[in-house]
Structure 1
Amino acid sequence: MPKFTWHTHPVPDHLPVRQVYGFLFVPDGRLLIRLDHGKHSLPGGRPEVGEVHYRDILRREAHEEVTVDIGDPHYLGYQCVDDGIAPYAQVRMAALITLAHPPLPDPDSGRTYDRLLVHPGKAGDLLAWGETGYQQASAAAEAAVAVFGLPADGLPESGHL
């Protein structure tokens, strides 16, 4: 069973980054959750050949998976995955959604994902990533308020984008 640990410092040079995922917020403070056949996740994925900047990976993945444009992403940290063979990093970022396009199929999978908007406080439960998931969701909620100036209280209820 892999071991997951959350870190807020930069990814060490020796640790390969295999995934970049984003906590994407709308201006009213709600968080976008990607929904695929009842499974909740964040938009994101693997770097493609030649991609080295986390922000570029997240922008591409956000557009491909949930057809949204985002502003400048803010680095939150990384989750180290130690599978007992070769540890790797999963980077987490937060960003504001600047434009939502009509849903389209993901060019990689062919699936069209539902986009659910939720209170950031529900992210840890919905993602079901355990303690490190709660730590990541908390860091994202803090960044939404401190970095992006989004409201912390009085958020609307959940809904679809």
Structure 2
Amino acid sequence: MSQLTGEAVTDDDGGRPGTWMTPQEYGASRAALWTGAVVLVTDTDGRVLVQSVDYRPDRLLPGGAVDAGEAPAAAAAREVREELGIDGSYPHGLAVDWIPADIPGFAPEMRFPGEILYVYDGGTWTADRIDAIRLPAQEITGIQFAEPADLPALMDPGDARRALSALRARINGGGPALLEDGRPTVPTALDRLGVLRTRRTPLHGTWHPGPVPAALPVREPGAWLFAPDGRVLLLVSRATGAAHLPPPTAGSVPFGYRCADGAAHPRTADRLTGPPPAADPEYARLLATAEQVRELADWGPAGHAELAAVHAARTRLGLPAPLRTPLTELPEEGLRR
């Protein structure tokens, strides 16, 4: 039978097979679901744009219902234009979520049948683009950029799960995530470890190349340890999902420091050719691009300068520039030589 028309497939003798249905019967047998589209936008500090509305207490991502005959990506662009006054197109999907019919929060008279909801990548908005936001006279009462870990306190539980899953999919770089009620059907390392479920520790201040001045106290030194493919080591707490750089190795070379809160946070660089140091079982060891490390951190504008210095250190070590690929967890024995 045709999946689209329900046409019959006949036997060699012209009879009907046992699975034959009329087009009307086939059409009635198909699941009817709502369709929606939302857009995930972050600011330059990695916070997520959520909006307040006049018809419910919790926050929402920009977006809404897909109209009859409308493509989901077109609906996403229309909703952002109507709700925020910003023109744009959002062709890149981050997630597709199946929302079951029995989810709480819908009035019985709505006869909610379930929904397929598309999450599109709205990208990172600069201060100029954020300043251009113009809210409509009704429905949208305000916006804020929220720390990812704060989303569960601000949003409906399913909406928060979906937003965090989509944000992890964006950072991971492995393509759109398939979700069921906000939960990935194939969790990535970021999903399994619950990265971004706790607030990131801000480390803003300024970036400085070279050695730390003798007058500055030193706090929390970190090392950029490069694998042969140009990716770096990232430690993630299994208990909290917090991500941070590993401590320096004996042979790592200083190349700069972050100055924040009256202290220096030194950075060193080294090759990672064997088991990493401090292989604490409480921490997962992931390989990530330098950009992915920065996107999981709250480093402020100085993060751009540190990232440039990291790439310069990688080049000096003669290592390639890695493409964005999904973060991978190192086995207990570390890298194979």
Calculate the TM-score normalised by the size of structure 1. Answer: 0.67
Asked which structure has the greater RCO (Cα within 8 Å, sep 6+), the reply is 1
Aligned with 2:271 (options 96, 120, 132)? 96
Match of 2:290 in 1: 120
Alpha-carbon distance change, 139 to 101 in structure 1, aligned in 2, over 3 angstroms: closer
Match of 2:232 in 1: 31
Greater Rg over alpha carbons, structure: 2
What CA distance in whole angstroms lies between the structure 1 residues aligned with 2:274 and 2:324? 20
* Alpha-carbon distance, 1:155 to partner: 6.5
Deviations 1:29-81 (A, max 9, x none): 1111111132111012xxxxxxxxxxxxx226xxxxxxxxxxx3122211112
Cα RMSD over matched residues?
2.6
- Paired residue secondary structure (1:38): coil
- Paired residue secondary structure (1:127): coil
Aligned with 1:81 (options 253, 260, 276)? 260
1:4-153 maps to which residues of 2 (within 5 A)? 4-36=205-237, 37-44=240-247, 58-59=248-249, 72-82=251-261, 87-100=262-275, 104-105=279-280, 112-145=282-315, 147-153=316-322
* Alpha-carbon distance, 1:102 to partner: 10
What CA distance in whole angstroms lies between the structure 1 residues aligned with 2:215 and 2:327? 40
Unaligned runs of 5+ in 2: 1-201, 331-337
Task: Letter of the 1:98 partner, please give it.
Answer: T
Alpha-carbon distance change, 42 to 156 in structure 1, aligned in 2, over 3 angstroms: same
- Paired residue secondary structure (2:309): helix
- Paired residue secondary structure (1:95): strand
What CA distance in whole angstroms lies between the structure 2 residues aligned with 1:3 and 1:78? 12
Identity %: 35
What CA distance in whole angstroms lies between the structure 1 residues aligned with 2:286 and 2:265? 22
Task: Letter of the 1:38 partner, please give it.
Answer: G
Unaligned runs of 5+ in 1: 45-57, 61-71, 106-110
Deviations 1:84-108 (A, max 9, x none): xxx2211011111121269843xxx
Task: Letter of the 1:89 partner, please give it.
Answer: A
Alpha-carbon distance change, 26 to 13 in structure 1, aligned in 2, over 3 angstroms: same
Task: Letter of the 1:59 partner, please give it.
Answer: T
